[in-house]
Amino acid sequence: MPQRAQNTPVCRDCDGFATAAITTGTRNRDGSRATLRVTCPACQGTGTARPARVREVARV
C-alpha cells in the first residue's frame, strides 16, 4: 500500500533547499576549497514556509 506524503509547506524563496555552500575560489592549506554556508533569509534555514495569515473581515 502506498504511503502518503506529508503536506509540509515548502519555502517559496529556496524551494526547500535552505542552506547552500558557495565556493569562494580560494583553497585552504590542505588543498580543499574554501566555502561559505549561506542560509535562506526568508525561512531562516528551515526550508518550510510559515502558514499564510488569515485575514479577518469586519462585518457591518
The span from the first CA to the last CA of the chain, in angstroms, equals 51
Mean pLDDT of 6-18: 84
Residue 27 has pLDDT above 80, yes or no: yes
Residue 32 has pLDDT above 80, yes or no: yes
Please give the single-letter amino acid code of residue 11. Answer: C
Has this prediction a pTM greater than 0.95?
Answer: no
Q: Grid coordinates representing 58?
A: 469586519
* pLDDT given for residue 1 in this prediction: 60
Sign of CA dihedral 46, 49, 50, 51: negative
Cβ neighbours for 14, distance < 8 A, ≥ 6 positions apart: 40, 42, 43, 47
Residue 6 has pLDDT above 80, yes or no: no
Q: Grid coordinates representing 42?
A: 526568508
* pLDDT given for residue 55 in this prediction: 65
